[in-house]
């Protein structure tokens, strides 16, 4: 790869490009948010991907799914293949481990990830992904948006980017997840009908998340030293640190203590594998 | 089959701080860090380092021929920890400086004997030896059932900022 390709981002530091090229990034969910994320990661130069999405492209995705075409919708192309096309179009030698399933159905490859982008729907799935990330000591960047309609008021568009760092405050500590919204979710995530989504807030939130990821990996600002909870107000067009950050405790996250990392089933599955190999 | 090792920045800095403390007569310090596995498959194993315990000052044996020689009590304590928890334990020490450190001949001959004891105490866990420098590391990892140690493809520090030691 010529040095010219990344010359405009050389301010990130001499050692940055090798860091990006070695890091394994996972993206769970390749819809409105995830498709932006993979595109930006490929532009930056990342070479190792683990990506998940069960769905295929539909007409209703084309208002926001980056890289997807009318033909892809007609062909019912899997979203992982759209993402793979974006990545390899920019970085032909990228390794893309792509799985057309929910991430929960094949977690093994997710353990390779140095950083997970959670672009999933709903609170419950966010909780599951964060629990996985905490068990495997993997930072998680959660990206999400929502639209709420109340009475005759204009729709309210909001979203968040949260960096969930093992040991640090989790999405429960930050108040983003709580029993009430988890319980309510059984009904629906958004309040404006079939999960309203548009392209521009996804772009803003994905860009914010990718910027945080780059800083986390190469420390170019030398200022990212704690929890991140960015709150997006789509009606005002602002992204700012959520007010809850001011009230976070310095103590270790009580929901995911570091003493509970690891997978207790690993030893059991190992024993089963060992038995199988003996037979 | 690739192996990755992860530890938090808090743990990493705690280990560096401890291992850099001068000792009355030993040239280097030694510690043991607990390990858990998050995943082991035919393609990838992920080992998580969790809790560091330094070897106590009085558990070093004066030996002009080695950087640090520790007594049987220190080794027994590490073995007991493996036995009690069923988890892995890594022997850790440090060679000051920057760049990739290398195990000395004595490290390569003697530390695997300690690891063998740890593996006997907790055969279903991953054990090993870890050598830190100021910004890098070298490790040998014995996965459960493996005859020979492997070297990790990646050792990651998780925190603000992230860092790859290998």
* pLDDT (tens digit per residue) in A88-117: 999 999 999 999 999 999 999 999 999 999
Contact B86/A at CB under 8 A: yes
Mean pLDDT of the residues in chain A: 92
Range A65-75 average pLDDT: 98
Would you place residue A250 in the very low, low, confident or very high pLDDT band (cuts 50, 70, 90)? confident
- Residue A72, pLDDT > 80, answer yes
Q: What is the mean pLDDT of residues A143-167?
A: 94
pTM score, two decimals? 0.94
pLDDT at A112: 96
Q: Per DSSP, what are the bridge partners of residue A97?
A: A50
- Encode chain B (166 residues) as per-residue pLDDT tens digits: 899 999 999 999 999 999 999 999 999 999 999 999 998 888 999 999 999 999 999 999 999 999 999 999 999 999 999 999 999 999 999 999 999 999 999 999 999 999 999 999 999 999 999 999 999 999 999 999 999 999 999 999 999 999 999 9
What pLDDT is attached to residue A103? 98
User: Do A240 and A205 contact (CB within 8 A), yes or no?
Assistant: no
A-B Cβ pairs (cutoff 8 Å, strict): 94
pLDDT at A251: 79
For testing contact with chain B, the best of A46, A257, A266 (most B CBs within 10 A) = A266
A chain contacts of residue B154, beta-carbon cutoff 8 Å: 22, 114
Output the pLDDT for position A184.
86
The mean pLDDT value for A28-38 works out to: 98
- Secondary structure class of B41 (helix, strand, coil): coil
Q: How confident is the model at residue A278 (pLDDT cuts 50, 70, 90)?
A: very low
A167: chain B residues, CB-CB within 8 Å: 8, 10, 159
Per CB-CB distance under 8 Å, the chain A contacts of B145 are: 270, 274
What number is the average pLDDT over the span A48-54?
A: 98
Question: pLDDT-derived band of residue A149, with 50, 70 and 90 as boundaries?
Answer: confident
Inter-chain residue contact A137 with B124, CB threshold 8 Å: no
Nearest beta carbon to residue A137 from set B41, B154, B158: B158
| pLDDT band, residue A192 (cuts 50/70/90) | very low
Chain A positions touching B159 (Cβ under 8 A) are 165, 167
Shortest distance, CA A119 to any CA of chain B (angstroms):
21
**Residue A34 predicted with pLDDT over 50:** yes
Other CB atoms closer than 10 Å to residue A7's CB: what's the count? Answer: 9
How far apart CA A265 and CA A272 sit, in angstroms, is 11
Strand pairing partners for B53? B32
Q: What is the pLDDT of residue A264?
A: 73
Which residue in B114, B123, B146, B119 sits closest to B45, CA to CA? Answer: B146
Q: Which residues of A115-141 are buried (b: 16+ CB within 10 A; e: fewer)?
A: bbbbbbbbbbbbbbbbebbbbbbbbbb
Whether pLDDT at A204 is above 70: yes
The yes-or-no verdict on residue A275 having pLDDT over 50 is no
Q: Is the pLDDT higher at A208 or at A273?
A: A208
Quote the pLDDT of residue A188: 61
Which residue does chain B place closest to A217, by CA atoms?
Answer: B162
B164 contacts A269? CB cut-off 8 A: no
Q: pLDDT band at A194, cuts 50/70/90?
A: low
Mean per-residue pLDDT for A156-179? 96
The sign of the dihedral angle between the CA atoms of B74, B79, B82, B83 is negative
Answer whether A22's CB lies under 8 Å from B154's CB. Answer: yes
The two three-digit tokens of residue B4, written as one number: 């990755």
Q: Which residues of A touch B44 (CB under 8 A)?
A: 108-109, 111-112
**Distance (Å) from the alpha carbon of A65 to chain B's nearest alpha carbon:** 30
């Amino acid at each position: 790869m010529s040095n010219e390709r990344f010359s405009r981002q050389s301010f990130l530091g001499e050692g940055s490009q090798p860091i990006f090229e070695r890091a394994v990034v996972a993206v769970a969910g390749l819809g409105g948010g995830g498709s932006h994320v993979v595109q930006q990661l490929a532009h930056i130069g990342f070479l190792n991907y683990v990506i998940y999405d069960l769905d295929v492209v539909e007409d209703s995705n084309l208002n926001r799914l980056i890289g997807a075409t009318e033909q892809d919708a007609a062909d019912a192309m899997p979203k992982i293949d759209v993402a793979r096309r974006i990545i390899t179009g920019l970085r032909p030698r990228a390794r893309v481990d792509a799985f057309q399933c929910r991430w929960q159905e094949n977690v093994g490859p997710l353990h390779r990830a140095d950083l997970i982008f959670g672009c999933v729907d709903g609170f419950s799935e966010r909780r599951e992904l964060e629990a996985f990330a905490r068990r495997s000591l993997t930072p998680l960047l959660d990206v999400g948006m929502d639209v709420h309609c109340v009475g005759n008021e204009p729709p309210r568009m909001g979203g968040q980017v949260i960096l969930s760092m093992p040991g640090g405050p989790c999405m429960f500590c930050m108040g983003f997840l709580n029993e009430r919204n988890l319980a309510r979710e059984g009904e629906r995530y958004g309040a404006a009908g079939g999960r309203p989504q548009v392209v521009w807030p996804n772009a803003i939130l994905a860009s914010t998340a990718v910027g945080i990821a780059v800083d986390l990996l190469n420390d170019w600002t030398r200022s990212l030293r704690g929890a991140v909870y960015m709150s997006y107000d789509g009606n005002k067009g602002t992204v700012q640190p959520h007010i809850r950050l001011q009230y976070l405790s310095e103590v270790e996250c009580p929901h995911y203590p570091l003493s509970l990392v690891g997978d207790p089933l690993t030893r059991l599955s190992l024993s089963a594998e060992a038995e199988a190999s003996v037979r | 089959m690739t192996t990755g090792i992860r530890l938090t920045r808090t743990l990493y800095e705690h280990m560096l701080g401890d291992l850099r403390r001068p000792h009355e007569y030993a040239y280097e310090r030694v510690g043991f860090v607990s390990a858990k596995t998050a995943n082991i498959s035919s393609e990838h194993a992920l080992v998580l380092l969790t809790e560091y315990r330094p070897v106590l000052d009085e558990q070093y044996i004066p030996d002009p021929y080695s950087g640090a020689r520790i007594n049987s009590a220190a080794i027994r304590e590490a073995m007991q920890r493996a036995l009690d928890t069923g988890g892995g334990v890594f022997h850790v020490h440090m060679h000051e400086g920057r760049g990739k450190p290398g195990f000395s001949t004595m490290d390569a001959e003697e530390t695997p004997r300690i690891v063998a004891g740890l593996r006997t105490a907790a055969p279903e866990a991953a054990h090993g030896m870890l050598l830190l420098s100021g910004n890098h590391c070298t490790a040998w990892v014995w996965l459960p059932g493996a005859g020979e140690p492997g070297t990790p493809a990646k050792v990651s520090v998780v925190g603000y900022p992230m860092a790859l030691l290998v």
